[in-house]
Structure 1
């Protein structure tokens, strides 16, 4: 009896393997998180908050974030053929609207913090709701001086990281891989179509998305993650989710820089 012709599983490009598909979905995110942990370790053991400290020890994020950006882009480009991007003007515009609404909810607690006349470090339920001033964070002006060439280079790389790399790396992992994996982890999850509705996938992925952020961002991350899930199952379009994330991070970055809320990013 002649053997049946081999048909590659759904979602794999010609000549692609399941192992390569999994690596493409997971590796960029894992490396990105690994570099974030490296920043924490470097800050703990080699960082030096002192006027005499060189900038790379006083503000290690100023060199590690660009490194994350470059490495993330290289990895995504390396496995580009494994990603199911279906760019569409309609879904890109809808994704942009979702991103603006989602980040609006994320920023609302910080705005309310000032409107309510609160001050100081948020504690207890205020922190869980995200009511904090969010002024301490990534600020290249502290390291290089406002308006200098190094300042603008750092700021451009920070926006490239947030708007392009984070949007791609996270949506590929959370929506393209993890939603499928959670829904059918004992089966051929890579064959499942993108954006299948599942309460289990929604609950687990949204919870993990929240836990990937600080407590002060839990409320915003829950609302944002829920809206992204809704867009995902409605559009069945990974590109729409990437656009949503990119627009949200762009607006957050602009808000942080304009209003001095550097702790937001």
Structure 2
């Protein structure tokens, strides 16, 4: 049997180094582009009416580049991922994704319903009650409804609902849950979705801090729900579907209600 024909389990057990690279590198490259965005904005960004769009809104070209490069890497190592796609668990993932993102969006909805203005403090701030209107908005750069606007928006949804869903679940659920459970041993041999308090607390905590403090409460609840789905379904594909649905709904909410700071 050739390497290309082997199933993900045999690749995981027989090629641990390549398996680890396949799980870590796409996520690392994805995060590297976020660092690039910060560096470019700090040293070359220019928030001025006369600034060209690529300097005023560098996310409008860095995000699409990030999306394409990361997708290429995921495709390169696709054979190493144990998705085990299932209609049943994918449907469950859809429900979990809708519920999870509902909790994530609730603080922003409550901010408006309570008639709050400006920046919140104390418990409201830590629960995520914020305006969330400043963020990714291609209409600012290209004009509402222009071809460039639609291209940027489509790529943003591909990034959120496809790339982020894949690289984060591959990293957090498929790799990190195994690694934190047995980092001094043969962690790659552990079955997917094996429950432990250590993996729950560490992976959920890391998932939280990978987001902004405003999102900590939502990320904790969402990460906990994903953990439940992971150990219940033993199905990475279900976790990816959950993440994809959640990010799709969040993006639709953001552009519908002008809450661009959510994404």
TM-score (norm 2): 0.96
Answer yes or no: is the 8 Å Cα contact 2:22–2:77 preserved in 1. yes
Describe how 1:23-172 pairs up with structure 2 within 5 A.
23-172=21-170
Please state whether the residue corresponding to 1:13 is helix, strand or coil. helix
- TM superposition shift of 1:12: 3.6
Which residue in 1 is equivalent to 2:237? 239
Give the ranges of 4+ consecutive aligned residues of structure 1 lying more than 6 Å apart after TM superposition.
Answer: none
Asked whether 1:208 is paired with 2:184, we answer no
- TM superposition shift of 1:124: 3.0
1: distance between equivalents of 2:12 and 2:132?
47
Which residue in 1 is equivalent to 2:222? 224
2: distance between equivalents of 1:69 and 1:238?
21
Answer yes or no: is the 8 Å Cα contact 2:30–2:70 preserved in 1. yes
1: distance between equivalents of 2:112 and 2:202?
33
Which residue in 2 is equivalent to 1:4? none
Which residue in 1 is equivalent to 2:177? 179
Asked whether 1:17 is paired with 2:15, we answer yes
1: distance between equivalents of 2:131 and 2:13?
51
Pair 1:28–1:14, CA change in 2 (3 A): closer
Q: In proportion to residue count, which structure has more helix? A: 2
Pair 1:14–1:226, CA change in 2 (3 A): closer
Q: Deviations 1:96-144 (Å, cap 9, x if unpaired)?
A: 0000000000000000000000001223322211000100000000000
- TM superposition shift of 1:15: 10
1: distance between equivalents of 2:39 and 2:118?
27
2: distance between equivalents of 1:166 and 1:261?
19
How many positions carry a matched residue from both structures? Answer: 258
2: distance between equivalents of 1:235 and 1:131?
32
Answer yes or no: is the 8 Å Cα contact 2:12–2:80 preserved in 1. no
Please state whether the residue corresponding to 1:85 is helix, strand or coil. coil
Aligned match for 2:188, one of 190, 201, 212: 190
2: distance between equivalents of 1:182 and 1:16?
20
2: distance between equivalents of 1:79 and 1:262?
33
Please state whether the residue corresponding to 1:94 is helix, strand or coil. helix
